[in-house]
Amino acid sequence: MIAPLASLMHRVEHHSRTTGQSLDEAAAIVVDDLERAAAALSARTAPLVPACGVLVAVAGLMLKAEPASDPVSEVFLGLAILSAVGALWFLTRAHFAYVGRRNVGLAPTVDDIAFTHRRLVRKHADAHRGGWLAGIGLTCLVLGILFGVHISLNTG
């Protein structure tokens, strides 16, 4: 979870009072924490991006492989493709979203806390949506496979 903005600002003010630093100097610690949290989120969700591509490819091949298969199977495979493309969109957006100080190379300021916090919340929401859509896509793919497989139990 991401701490509320008010809590982060309170932390900066407290650190400023206890160390005698200016608010902008104390803001560096909070901005660095938010930047590290964004990097950790990118590292955790990065494997889902190529997985969604594989999911789209497998579902697409299955739709093309049996054009006259069960319509229920085709619906689930189509939903798998749509979910995986949606997941790919959100995960890619989350992965490449910039979370950090507004002026790269300059010392962070108090204003950068709100900017970085807002971006991190957006990145987290996009990663969450993408993860759910990837799971839904995988579930639809499995259901499409199960409905599309015809098993014959003739023993003789």
Per the structure, how many domains does the chain have? 1
The mean pLDDT value for 79-83 works out to: 93
Do 55 and 137 contact (CB within 8 A), yes or no?
yes
Distance CA 64, CA 71 (A): 13
By three-state DSSP, how is residue 44 classified? helix
Whether 65 is in a domain gets the answer: yes
| 155 domain residue, yes or no | no
Q: Is the pLDDT of residue 6 over 90?
A: yes
Question: What residue numbers bound the domain in which 68 lies?
Answer: 5-148
**In which band, very low, low, confident or very high, does the pLDDT at 152 lie, cut at 50, 70 and 90?**
low
Report if residue 111 sits inside a domain: yes
**Domain assignment of residue 153, yes or no:** no
For the chain, what percentages of helix, strand and coil (3-state, to nearest 5) are there? 80, 0, 20
Written as one string, the DSSP assignment of 22-53 is: -HHHHHHHHHHHHHHHHHHHHHHHTTHHHHHH
Q: Is residue 67 part of a domain?
A: yes
Could you write out the DSSP letters of every residue in 77-127? HHHHHHHHHHHHHHHHHHHH---S-SSTTSPP-HHHHHHHHHHHHHHHHHH
The fraction of the chain above a pLDDT of 70, given in percent, is 92
User: What is the rounded distance in angstroms from the CA atom of residue 128 to the CA atom of residue 9?
Assistant: 25
pTM for the complete prediction? 0.83
Domain assignment of residue 154, yes or no: no
Residue 64 forms part of a structural domain: yes
Is 108 contained in some domain? yes
Q: Average pLDDT of 37-47?
A: 92
Angle of helix 5-19 relative to helix 23-45, nearest 10 degrees? 140
Q: How distant is the alpha carbon of residue 156 from its chain centre?
A: 52
Q: Hey, what are 122's tokens? A: 């957006």
